[in-house]
Structure 1
Amino acid sequence: MATPNPFLQFAPNRAKRVHIRLNESLWLESQSLAVTAARPTAGHRPLEVAKKERRSPIKSGEAWGKLYDQRWFHIEIPAPPKGKAKVPRFLEWSHQGESTLYVDGVPYYGFDDPHRAVVLPPGVREVWIEGYCCNTFSHPSVSPNGSIFNGASLKYRDETVWDCLQEMNVMFDVMMALRSRQEPKPAPFVPMVGLRPKVDDASPIYRKVLHIIERACDAYELDGPAAMSRILVEGRAELKSERPLLTGILHGHAHIDLVWLWPERMGEAKAVHTFSTMNRLMERYPEFRFSYSQPASYRAVERRAPQLAAQVKQHIARGAWEATGALDVESDTLLACGEALARSFMLGQAEFARLRGARGPAQLVWLPDVFGYSACLPQLMRLVGVEQFFTTKLTWNTINRFPYSSFVWRGNDGSEVVSHVTQNVGYNNGVGWSEVESNARGHSQSHLHREFLHPTGFGDGGGGTTEEQLERARRLSGLCDLPELRWDLPENFFERLAKLRAQLPVHQGECYLEHHRGIYTTHGDFKAIFRGTERALQVREAVAAATGEVPDLVAPWRRLVFAQFHDFVPGSAIAEVYAEGRAELSRITSEQLEAARNRLSTSGLAVAKAKKSAAAKSSAAAEEQLFNPLALPWRGWVGERWYELPPLASVPAEVGATAGDEAQATASIAKNGAASLRSDRVQARVTRDGRLAELVIDGRPITFSETAATAVLYPDNPGHHDAWDIDRHSLELGKPVTTPVTITVEHGLSEPPTKASAKSAAKSRDTSTAVASASAPAHAAAICVRRKLGKASELVLRYEVRAGEPVLRLTADVDWHETRTLLRLHFPTEYRGRFARFGGPFGSVLRGQQPGEPITEAQWEVPGSRWATVSLDSEREGLALITEAKYGFSARDGELTVSLLRGAETTCAIGEYGGAAPPHLSRYQPESPFTDQGRHTIALALTSYSADLPQEQHPAVLADTLFTPPVAYRGAPASAGLLGVHDAPTLVPAWAMPVAKDAWVLRLHEVGGARGTARIDLAEGFVACPATLHGDAQGKPLKDGALDYAPYKILSMRIERTKK
C-alpha cells in the first residue's frame, strides 16, 4: 500500500468529480409520461373552464405561446409498481415557463428553474398543470418561438444519495469559500489542468476541510454514499463553533413584482405559483418560516385559488407564515401625493388585520426594492401603528455607502422607527457560506446586536425558498466561525432589536437612493394620468365631505394604490403595463369626476325638495354653482369672471367679479424681437431667442444669473437600466437648444382653469376644454415661443400671466420624437444658499445645493413632489418652481432645473431584459420602443419664494390651486363648514376625507420646518377635534379653533356638524 497522500491540493478536483457522480445517481427508474394540452390563450382562465376544453397530445421539444399566455396541461398518473405503493414518487416537469401543479383541483406546487420536482401525494391518478409563457429574468427565459415543453416524468429519489449530496453541498461550499481566501489567490473555479497551489502555508481550517473531504471521498469510493455521509457529518461536528458570535435570522422570502417584465395578470399567477410551493415546503420542514407582504397578492390568490388561500391563512394562524408589510403594495414612496401614500398604509393595514386575525395589523414596513425612501415615511408608519422598517435597496448606493445596518430612522418631523438594512446582499439570497458570511460582515452594528436578517429564496417567479436551501440551513449553521443560522419571522427579529433601541445610531431625514434617478421622469405621460386620478379622487371626496356623503371608494383607491407599485408609476415596467394602466386610470378619473358632479347636482335637488317653498325649490335646483374641491381658498378666472371661492364650498356662478381695468394683462413684442408680459402682479421679459430675461413678482425681482427657461437636451445613455437611470456623465454633455424661434403673443385664456365654462358644464357636463375666443377680455396674456427641438421634435414654450395671479405660468407643448435623450428646463439664479427645498409627499426636504460634498454631488437628480425652491440661506429671497405632474429636479449652485421628458428604452423593448420578454412574442406592440414619444402638454409655474409669504403663495399651496379647477354644476350650494386655516403660512390643508354622515377629516401638513399655532375657522354649527389618520376622534374639540403645529407634522382634524 502507498503511504498517506500528502497532496491535499488535489481535494477540490476530487470533490468536484464526486459531486457530479452523486448528482448522476440521485434519480432512479425514470418513467416518461404522456401529456395532453389545451390551446394557449391570452386570458387566464380557471381550471374548471379548462377541464371542458379539447386537448391534444404535446411532444417534447414543442414551443408554444405568446408572452404571458396561459396553457393547461393534463397528465394521467399510472399506479405505482407492486411493493412501491408507499415509496415517495416525484413528478419532474421540464418546461421553460413557470408552471403550477394542481392536485384535486388545488394548487399544489410551483415548477420553475429552482423547483423542478415534487413528491406526489399517495393515490393521485391525475394532475393538471397551469403553464405560462413567461420566465423570471433570473433564469433562462423562454425561447424566441415561445415556451418550450421538454417532457414530464415520474422518478424515485435515492434518499441516501440525497442526504449525502446535501452534506457534500455544504462541505464543498465551505471549501470553495475558504479556498478563495488563500494566498496566492487561486482561480475562482477548480481548474482541470496546471499546477495546483500547495497548501503548506494555507490556513489551518482550510487544510482541515480538505482533509475531511479527502476522507469522505475515500469512504464514497470504498463503501458508497452512506459511508461518505457519516464522514461528512463527523467533519461538520469538528468544524462547528460552540458559541458563534452572530446569528443569522433566516426567513423564506419571494419578492414578487406585481408588474414589471410582465402585466398584472402574470403577477397574480406568480403569487399563486409561489404560495403553492411555500405551502408544500411547510409540510415537509416544520422549522421553516416564510413571510410575504402585499395584500394585493393575497387577494389575487383568494380570487384565483381560494382553497390555497385558506391553507395559507392556517399557516399564518399557527405562526409559520407571516403576512406583514403595512402597505397594500410595495409602493414607491416619492411620486404619489401624501394622501395617496397614506391610503396605501390605511388600505394595507386593514387587509393585514383581516389576514392576521388576533395578531392585528402589521408591525413592519417591508420595502426591499423601492427607489428611495421619503422623509415622511417614519411619521406615516407611526400613524398606522408601525415601528419597524426593513429594506435592502440602500446597498445599491453607488457613491456613499449607507453607514448602518441596524439603526433608528428618524423622520423629518422627529418620528422614529427601528430599522434594519441588509448590507452586501440583496433580497434573493441563498443559504451559501459566502452569502451568509458577507451579510454578517456587512452588519455594522454587530457589536450591539448579534442578529442580522437574511431573506432566503427566489422572487419574481423563482418560487421562493427551495428544498436545498432548507437542507443547507440545517447543516451550515456555525461552521468554520460562520454565524449560527435559525429560522424566524421578521417581526420577531425586530422585537428583539427594539430592546436595543437606545444603543442604536440614528439616521434623520430621507433615505436617498444613489441610483435609479431617471424614474422621477420616465413615462411622464403615465405620471400625468396618475396625478389626474389622484386629483379626481380628491375632488370626489371633497364633494362627499361637503354633501354629507360617505361613498365606498375602496375599489378606485386600491387601483390607484396598485399603480404606486415601485415598478409601475416610476416607469420601469414593460409597455403593456402602461397601455393597460393609462386606460384604467383614465376611466377612473372620468368616473370620479362625473360622480362628483352628479352628487353636487342631486344633493342640491334633495336639499331643495326639503324646502317648504316650491319657489325656493325651483331656484335652488336651477342655480349655477362653482364648487372648490380644495381645503384651501381658490382664486382665479373662470371664463370672463374672477372668483374667490372658500374652501370646500360653492358659490353661485353669478357672483364673480368682472375684471376691470385694474385687472388687465398685456403682451407685446418690441422692434428688436424681445417680448414682454405684464399684469397687475407680474412682469416678465423674454429675449428674442425665447429665453426668460426678467421676472418680477409683486414688485420683487427674481435675481437670475443669466437668461432662464433654457431648454437643454442631453444624450441619455446610462450604463445600465435605461428606464431607471440618468447617469452623471450625461449632465456634462447637455447642449442648450438654440434653433431659430418664432415668437407670437396671445390675449385671453387659451386654456381656462376649468374643464368647461360654468354654463356649459352645468348644462351638458361636457369635460372637454373650452377655448377662449379672440374677443375674450384681456385678463390673460401670453408669449409663445416655437422652435425645433433635437432631430425630429418641436417645442412651444408658452409664458403666460393672468391678472390677480402671483405667478408666471409656463406651458411646454412638446411634440417629442427624440430617443435616448433627456429634456430639461434650466433656471440659473444667484440664490446660492447651502440648501434647496423640495416638496415631499407630505412636508418637504432640504438638500444641499453647494458643490463639493460627496452626498450633495451624488444627488445630481432628485425627487420633488411637484415643487422646488432655491434661495438664500435666510429663505427670505428665492425662486420657486411649481409643476402639475413633474417630479425630477436638480439644484446646484443656484441653478434650479426640472426634467421634462426622456426618450429612454422601454423596459424589454430592445436590449436590456429583452431576453426575459422577447418583444416579438408580445401580443402588445407599442408604436415605439422608446418612452414618451408623441405630444405632451406640461404645465409649470414660477414665482418668488420666501418663507414668510402668505399661505396662498407657498409653492406647496400653488401646486394644488394652480392646477385644480373648481367643479361647475347646477344645483344648491354646498359647504363642508371650513372657512379657512389662518395664521400658519406653512401649514397646508391638503385633503378632505369623508368618514361619516356630516363628518369628515381635514388632513394638513407642515411644509417649511416651522412651529406655531394655527386658527381653524369653521362655519356656525361645526366643531373640530384632533383625529387619527383614519378619522377617529382623538382628544377634545379645539378651543377657539387653536391648533398647535410643529415642523413637518401631519395633522388630522375631524370636522363635523354639532347635533341640534
Structure 2
Amino acid sequence: MHENQALTIGRVKRVLDERLRPAVYSYPHPLTIARHVVDGEPIPVSEGLAAEYAPTEVGQRWGRAWDTTWFRIDGEVPEAFAGRRVEIVADLGFDINMPGFQCEGLVYLADGTPVRSLNPRAQWIPVSKDADGGERLEYFIEAASNPVLLDYHPFLPTEQGDVLTASQDELYRIRRVDVCVFEGEVFELVHDVEVLVQLAEQLPEESARRAQILRALDRSLNRVNLQDVAGTAAAGRAELRDVLASPAEPSAHRLTAVGHAHIDSAWLWPLRETVRKVARTSSSMVTLLEEDEDFVYAMSSAQQYDWLKRERPEVFARVKQAVADGRFVPIGGMWIEPDAVLPSGESFIRQISHGQRFFRDEFGVECKGAWLPDSFGYTGALPQLLVGSGFEWFLTQKISWNQVNRFPHHTFWWEGIDGTRVFTHFPPMDTYNSQLSGEEVARAARQFKEKSVAKSSLAPTGWGDGGGGTTREMLARAKRMADLEGSPQVVLESPNDFFERAMAELPSPDVWRGELYLELHRATFTTQHHTKQGNRQSQRLLLEAELWASVAATRAGFDYPYDELDELWREVLLLQFHDILPGTSIAWVHREAEESYARIAERLEGIVSEALAALGVTLGEGPLVVNAAPVAELSVAAASVADAGAAVASEAKADGETFVLSSDLARVEIDGAGHVVSLVDLRTGREAIVEGERGNLLQLHQDFPNMWDAWDVDAHYLDMREDLDGPAEVSLDGASVVVRRTFGASSIVQRLALDATGRLLTIDCEVDWQEDEKFLKLAFPVDVFADEVLAETQFGYQHRANHTNTSWEAARFETHAQRWFLVQEPGFGVAFLNESSHGFDVTRVHGEHGVGNLARFSLLRAPKFPDPRADRGTHRLRLGVLVGADVADATTAGWAFEHPGRAASGESVAPIATSSNPAVIVSAIKLADDRSGDLIVRLYESRGGRAETRIALEVPGTVRVSATDLIERGDLGDLALEDGAVALTMRPFEVATLRVRR
C-alpha cells in the first residue's frame, strides 16, 4: 500500500462522489408524469388533487417565477423489486448547492396525506421498506417554482423579487422521476467513508490516528468493485469496522446536534410561501422522526405552528402528535424570531406572551429559553425581558459574523442594562444550518472559548429556508461520531437537555454586560423606511387602543375587543420578523407590509374612536386634547390644553436674511440656505450650535457596501460625503420656516417650528427620494463636550462611546436608538428625537472653538438588493432637536413626540393609572390576557436610578393589586392598597407588571 496521504484522500473523494453516492439507488424505472399549472396564487390541497392534469415528461420545462405546478406521478413497482426497500427519486431541476433558494415541493398521497418535501438535498419519496412488487403508485407534488435570487454571484439587482415584475419564463426542467431500489448497504458505506475521510482531513498530518484511518480507507476501496458497488459494499465496510469502533477520548468535546431548519418567515420569498416552506419541512421532519427513534427536532416561532394549524391542518395533526411524544420540540417561546433591536419593549413582551400562550394552549408546554440565532444584534434590555418572562436561557449565533472583533465567549452570563443576567450560548460551529461535516464538528471543538472549564456546545443541524431541515445523511454522520476517536462526541438531543447539562457544567461563567452589537448589517436601522414607520405607528396605536378600550371597559361597560387586539398584535409581531422590519426582504414582502400597516392603522383608529365614544369623547376639532403619552407631565387622559400646562407661545419672523423661531425658552436662527446657525437655550443662555457651523445640514454619501446591499453600510462610506448646502428656497408660513431644496433627482421640503413646549425644534420633512446607492443624513454640530452618547433602548437607555480608542468602539460607527439619543455634558445637553428613523451616528469634532460633537440622523438609503427600488419614492419624516435637555427631558419628549395629542370634544377623562414619580413611567395599560377583566399596568424606571413612587389607580371596584411576571403569570405578592394607590420601590431600569383585580 502507498503511504501518500494526499493521494489517498484524493482517491477516496473521487470514488465517493462519482461511484459510491450514485450507487445508493439502483434499477431506475421511469414513472408517468402529468401536471396542472395553477393560474395565480396557490390553491387548497383538495383542489390540487382534483384538478385536470395534462401529460408531461422528463426534459420539459416548467414553472414561471412564483407559480405553483401540481404534478401527478404514477406507475407501479416492478415485480423484480419484491423484498427490497423502494423509493422514488424525483429531480424537478434542483441545484444541490442551493437548498432553500429555488424550487421545492410537498408530496401527497392521493387521499391528501402529506408524505414529505422534495428539495435539492432530499429528492426521494418513500414507497416501501419491503416491497411486494407490482404495487400501484400514485403521488401528487405541489411544486413551487420560486426564482433563484441568491445565485452563485449573489446580491445583483433583480426584478424577480415581486410577482408584479417577475419574468414569464419557465425556470426549471424536469430531470428524472424514477422508482428505484434503495441500496441500504451502499448508503451505510457512503457514510462510513465520508465521516472517516472528513475526520482524517481535520487531524494533524503526523497523527497516528489519521494514518490508521487512511490506511483503512485504502483497504476498503480495494475491496469495492466499482462496477458492482452494491454487491461489494459489505466487504468494503468490513475493512472500516475497527477504525469506526475506536472510542473518543475522555476529554473529547461533546456536541449536541439539535434537528433544526431555520426558516426565515419572509425574506427572498413572500409570507404566503413561508407557510408552504414550513409545511414541507415539518412533513419531512415528522417522517424522519418516525424512521429514526434517536432523532429530536426543534422548531421555533409560534406563528409558523399557527400557519400549519390554519393552512395545513393535515401536517399540523402529525406535528401535534410528535410534540406530544416529546420528539418535535417547540423552542424560543416567541411569536416569531423578531429583529432584536428595533421593536419596542412592549413588543418584545408581546412576542413572548403570544408565543408562550400559543404553545401552552396547543401543546400544553412552555418554552424554557429564547432562540434567536439570526437577528442582527441584541438590545441590552433583553436579559430582563427574557428572565422576567420566565426564560432560563438564550441562544444566538449571529455575533460570530462580526467584521472586526471576535466575541470572547461561547457560554456566558449576558447581563442587561438593569443588571439581570441570562445564561447564554453561542454555538462555536458558527452556523445555525450545520450539516455535521467533519470540518464543522472539528471547528466547534477548536473554537469553543470555554474549553478549559467546559466541554459542551450545541449545533442546530439541518438545511433551512425550505431546504428540508435535517436529513438522514446528517443523522448517519451523527451516529458514527457518537463515540469516535479523534472526533468530538455527537449526541442527538433537545436544546433543553443541552442547556440543563451546560448550566450544571459551568455554573459561574464569565459575564458580558450590555448590548450584543453586531459589527455588520448596520444599515438595517434605516433601510425600508416605510416598513419601519408602519411598525412605529402600529406600536403606538396598539398601546392607545388598549389604553382607551381598558378605560372604557372598566368605567363604561365597553366590550373590550380581545380577539381583534390579539389578531392585530400578532400581525404586527409577524411584521417584526428579522428580515421584514430591518428592511432586508424582497419588494413583494415590503409592498405587502405597507398594505398591512395601513389596514392595521384603520382598524386601531376605529377601536380608539369607539372606546372614546363610550367615554363621551369625540375625536376631531374641539377644546380637549386626547393624550396617550403615559408620562406624568403628559398624563394618560383627555385634558384641556390649559390644564396640560404645556403650551408656550412662539413665533417665526424674518430678520434680514435670517429667519428666527423664538419662544420664552428657546431661540432658533435659520440662514437663507435653510441651515440652523444658532440654537439657544434661553433659560441658561447656552448656544447649542458650534460657532461658525451649521445644523439642519443634509449630507449625502456614496453607499455601496462590500456585500449585503440592504443590510450593510461599511465604514468607507464616511470618506465620500457631499454637503447639500447649495441654494434653497426659504420662506415663512405662519409660525414655521419652510425650506425647499433639490439635489440630484430628489427634492425635500422641510418645515421647522418650535412645538407647544417652546423648547423642541421640530423638523417635518417630505422627501421625494430618487437616488441610487446613496445614504442621506441630517447633521447638527453641537457645542457639547461628551465622550459618550446616551441612546434610548427598550425600557431605558444605554451608553455608547463616541470615540475610537479601541476596535470595539471604532466598529460602532453606525448605531441605533428607540425614540431619542442625547449628547450631554454636566448641566447641558441636546436630545435628538425621531418618529420613525432609528439609525444615527455621533462623532467628536475638534475646531478652533473647542471640542464638540457632530450628531447625525440617518434618514434614507437606496440599496438595490434584494429590492431594486428600496425606499425610492415619497417619505415623510418627523425629527426633533431638544435644547437644554437631560435624560428626563429626552424621555418625556420622546414619549410625547411619538404620541402626539389629538383634538377632541366631550367629557374630560381622568387618568386610570398615574405615577407620582416622573422617573417611573406607566408604559402600557390593558385588560388581562386571561380575560378575567383584571387590569394590567406595565411600568418602568426610565432614568437609571432607584425610585420610589405611588401608582394611583382610578379603577372602579379595585379589591386587590399584585405583581406578576412580565407575561402576566403567577402572583409575585400583593401590594398594599391605600387610598386607591400602591407604593413601589423600583430598581434602575426595572420593568414591573401589576394586576389590578376588580
Whether TM-score is above 0.5 comes out as: yes
Compared CA separation, residues 966 and 233, structure 1 to 2 (3 A): same
The alpha-carbon deviation at position 92 of structure 1 amounts to 0.9
Corresponding residue number in structure 1 for 2:829: 878
Structure 2 unaligned spans of 5+:
94-102, 155-159, 161-166, 845-852
Does the 8 A contact of 1:277 with 1:463 survive in 2?
yes
Do structure 1's residue 684 and structure 2's residue 696 form an aligned pair? no
Contact residue 418 and residue 497 of structure 1 kept, 8 A: no
Residue matched to 1:361 = 366
Per-residue deviation, 1:854: 1.6
**Aligned-pair CA distance for 1:738:** 1.8
Q: What residue is the counterpart of 2:336 in the other structure?
A: 329
What residue is the counterpart of 1:848 in the other structure? 801
The 5 A counterparts of 1:550-949 are: 550-552=560-562, 553-604=565-616, 626-632=625-631, 647-651=635-639, 663-671=648-656, 673-700=657-684, 701-705=686-690, 706-747=693-734, 781-789=735-743, 791-872=744-825, 874=826, 876-893=827-844, 894-907=853-866, 909=867, 929-947=868-886
Change in Cα spacing, 1:124 to 1:459, as seen in structure 2 (3 Å) is farther
Structure 1 residues not aligned, in runs of 5+: 183-201, 606-618, 636-646, 748-780, 910-928
- Counterpart for residue 465 of structure 1: 470
**Cα distance change of structure 1 residues 476 and 124 upon mapping to structure 2, 3 Å threshold:** farther
Separation in 2, partners of 1:627, 1:435: 58
Matching residue's letter, 1:933: R
**TM-aligned CA distance change 1:1020 to 1:146, over 3 Å:** closer
Match of 1:228 in 2: 236
Q: How far apart are residue 345 of structure 1 and its match?
A: 0.9
Distance 1:809 1:299 in 2: 43
- Hey, what's the Cα distance between the residues in 2 that align with 1:136 and 1:412? 42
2:175 pairs with 1:150 = yes
Q: Paired residue for 2:983?
A: 1042
Give the SS at the match of 1:499.
helix
| Cα distance in structure 1, aligned partners of 2:669 and 2:392 | 52
Deviation at 1:221, TM superposition (A): 4.3
Partner residue in 2 for 1:33: 31
Structure 2 letter corresponding to 1:518: A
Provide the rounded CA distance (Å) in 2 between the counterparts of 1:26 and 1:1030: 52
**Structure 2 counterpart of 1:249, from 246, 256, 260:** 256
Distance 1:168 1:6 in 2: 18
- Please tell me the residue identity of whatever aligns with 2:923: A
Aligned to 2:533: 528
Quickly say closer, same or farther: Cα 1:603–1:808, change in 2 above 3 A.
closer
Alignment partners' CA distance in 1, 2:722 and 2:149: 37
- The equivalent residue for 2:267 is 260
Indicate the SS of the match to 2:899.
coil
- How far off its partner does 1:634 sit? 6.8
Q: 2:104 aligns with which of 98, 116, 124?
A: 98
Q: 287-296 or 490-499: which moved more? A: 490-499
Q: What TM-score does the superposition give when structure 1 sets the normalisation length?
A: 0.84
2:916 paired with 1:982: yes
Residue 320 (structure 1) shift = 1.5
Q: Could you report, residue by residue, the CA deviation over 1:278-331 in whole angstroms, capped at 9, with x for unpaired residues? A: 111111211111101011111111223223212212222222221010111001
1:472 and 1:728 map into 2 onto residues whose CA distance is 42
Offset at residue 237 of structure 1 (A):
2.4
Please report how far the alpha carbon of residue 16 of structure 1 lies from its aligned counterpart in structure 2 after TM superposition.
3.2
State the 1:366 CA deviation: 0.3
- Cα shift readout 1:71-99 (whole Å, capped 9, x = no counterpart): 21112241x33364442211111113100
Is residue 2:139 matched to residue 1:131? no
Give the aligned residue type for 1:253: H
DSSP 3-state at the match of 2:965:
coil
CA contact (8 A) 1:842 1:1050 kept: yes
- For the 8 Å contact 1:326–1:352, the answer to whether it is kept is yes
Offset from partner CA, 1:12-62 (integer Å, 9 cap, x none): 343234322223433221111111111233312122112332110122233
8 Å CA contact retained: 1:722, 1:904: yes
Q: Distance in 1 between matches of 2:63 and 2:900?
A: 48
Q: 1:14 aligns with which of 8, 11, 23?
A: 11
- Asked if the contact 1:994/1:1001 (under 8 Å) is kept, the reply is yes
**What letter corresponds to residue 740 of structure 2 in structure 1?**
R
Query: How many Å apart are 1:254 and its aligned residue?
Result: 0.3
Partner of 1:610: none
After superposition, the C-alpha distances for 1:215-252 in whole angstroms (9 at most, x for unaligned) are 112222498221110001222224x4342421111111
- From 937, 945, 953, the equivalent of 1:1010 is 945
Alignment check: 8 A CA contact 1:833 1:850 kept = no
Deviations 1:509-533 (A, max 9, x none): 1111111000000000121122111
- Structure 1 pair 570/413, CA: closer, same or farther in 2 (3 Å)? same
Q: Which moved more, 1:689-698 or 1:116-125?
A: 116-125
Is the aligned partner of 1:211 residue 2:212? no
Q: Take 1:683 and 1:622, find their aligned partners in 2: how far apart are those partners?
A: 30
What is the match of residue 966 of structure 1? 901
Q: Which amino acid aligns with 1:1016?
A: I
- The amino acid that maps onto 1:895 is L
How many residue pairs get matched? Answer: 939
2:245 aligned with 1:237: yes
Residues 887, 23 of structure 1: alpha-carbon distance in 2 compared, 3 angstrom cutoff: same
Structure 2 residue aligned with 1:1029, among 946, 966, 979? 966
- 1:193 is matched with none
Could you give the per-residue CA deviations for residues 910-961 of structure 1, whole angstroms, max 9, x where no partner exists?
Answer: xxxxxxxxxxxxxxxxxxx22111111111111135447xx5xx22222221
In structure 1, C-alpha distance between the alignment counterparts of 2:177 and 2:486, rounded to whole Å:
43
Q: CA deviation at 1:133?
A: 0.8
Verify the 8 A CA contact 1:1000 1:1031 in the aligned structure 2: no
1:957 alignment partner AA? T
Question: Secondary structure at 1:51's aligned position in 2?
Answer: helix
Q: Which residue of 2 aligns with 1:443?
A: 448
Residue type at the aligned position of 1:212: A
- Indicate how the Cα distance of structure 1 residues 622 and 174 shifts in structure 2: closer, same or farther if over 3 A, else same: closer
How far, CA to CA, are the matches of 2:947 and 2:199 in structure 1? 61
SS in 2 for 1:808: strand
Write the distance in 2 (CA, Å) between the matches of 1:81 and 1:133: 31
Question: Aligned partners of 1:124 and 1:386: how far apart in 2?
Answer: 51
Shift in Å, 1:803: 4.4
The residue identity in structure 1 corresponding to 2:741 is R
Runs (4 or more) in structure 1 with deviation over 6 Å come to 135-143, 619-624, 655-659
Partner of 2:61: 63
Aligned counterpart, 1:512: 517
Instruction: Identify which range, 442-451 or 939-948, moves more after superposition.
Output: 939-948
Q: Does the 8 Å contact 1:427/1:455 carry over to 2?
A: yes
Q: 1:625 to 1:594 in 2, by over 3 A?
A: farther
Distance 2:955 2:325 in 1: 54
1:943 aligned partner, one-letter code: L
Question: Corresponding residue for 2:163?
Answer: none
Give 2:423's aligned residue: 418
**Aligned residue identity for 1:703:** A
| 1:90–1:595 Cα change, 3 Å | same
